[in-house]
Chains A and B, each alone.
Chain A
Amino acid sequence: MYDAVVAFSHVALISIPCYCAKQNSVEQAQLLKGVLELAVLSVIARGETYGYEILSTLEGAGFDGVGDASVYGTLRRLEQAGHLESRLAASDSGPARKYYSVTSSGAEQLQAGTEAWSRINAAFRELVEQ
């Protein structure tokens, strides 16, 4: 069910986000956006987490070309689509955090998306290596 976990196994769960200048090209950012929804789902599928932590994990995995707003916007869109559910929990520092978890439809979406992405990736590799 959580093939995406394998697919993104190199993602470090705890990482310090690099808020230095984001130097990815516009083209790379567009490529990353295409898979951002799956990436976000896969991070949350590992366990309940909140926005900043998701962002940190993604940046540690090399998604630092994607803007913070894009990640939060994606979280909202996934939640509105019913793929995520959330709860507010008090934080030690600052305002309450919104914790996300994957719903069953989110898990199905993740599995289907990962398979589709794998097929595309394999097809692309084959095309490039010819």
Chain B
Amino acid sequence: MTRDEYVRNVGWSLGDLPWSTRRDLLRELRGHLEELPADSDLGAQLGSPEAYAEDLRTAAGLERRRGVLAFLRARRPRNLILLVLALTVIGLAVGAVVWIDSYQPIATGNSAYGPLGSHASPAGDGSYVVFRQGRRFRYGMTIWNTGRYTVRVLGVPRTFGLPISYRLLMSAPTTFDRAGIPEPYTRFRPFDLKPGEQRGLIFAGTYAEPCRNRETGSIDWVSIPVRFSFLWRTATVQVPLPERLAFVFRKTPACRSTNQ
């Protein structure tokens, strides 16, 4: 067994002692070993490292320590600081990832206009419009960045089954303290929505419902799915309409002709 191995094994057996105490004891042991002849058989002269450590502990009156505090005190302060720093960095990184993954600042803005011919619903829970195949349709509302960071609005997925055929337009940017959806309206392109900024999304097109044997009834439109990105994350958020819009269906000629 080399001197280094002997010192290391003694240190291992004293692993519960405070680091500074262990350092002092091992420093003196190392000095002692240096005084011995180079070809010394350490095991034969000093006993096993475990026995040496036990004798040292007994003679020095150092009790065996247990518990979290003892474990922490037994660590080298530099290593403990590095560990705490590493854990802090990891914690902050995890917290940042969780926060970024949950960051969603897009909300309904302060302005909207409904399609021509829309009426307040009798129940007072929104408005409705009678579906007329092929007739012109236009609906606009603003979305607002309520957060502290800019997000990029990527678009509106065409998956929500509205009975309209439309092109998505966007307005000029505005702020929440200004009402209205300012023109000019241009074809939608992904844009950055800054904190406090709002911008209008305009659905311009015609009523269009493929015939699926719908005689009467209605479709409720309550929210717009807005796709956005923030840093590395891309997500879709349902932005509620300022008020529910119902498409009310009567018998449509197209359906009748198909069914007949």
Question: A: which residues have CB within 8 A of B?
Answer: 19, 21, 33, 36, 50-52, 55, 67-77, 80, 91, 93-98
Contacts and interface: CB of A to CB of B under 8 A. Distances in A.
Contacts of A74: 59-60
A97 B29 CA distance: 10
Contacts of B36: 19
Contact of A95 (B25, B30, B52): B30
A80 B45 CA distance: 27
B34 A94 contact: yes
A72 to B, nearest CB: 6
Contacts of A67: 46-47, 52, 55
Nearest to A55: B32
B-side binding surface: helix, strand, loop or mixed?
Answer: helix
Interface residues of B, number: 28
Contacts of A33: 59
12 contacts: A52-B32, A55-B32, A68-B32, A69-B47, A69-B51, A69-B52, A72-B56, A73-B56, A74-B60, A76-B62, A91-B31, A94-B34
Q: Output the residue of A33, A72, A97 with the most chain B CB within 10 A.
A: A72
A69 B31 contact: no
Contacts of A55: 32
A70 B55 contact: yes
A74 B56 CA distance: 8
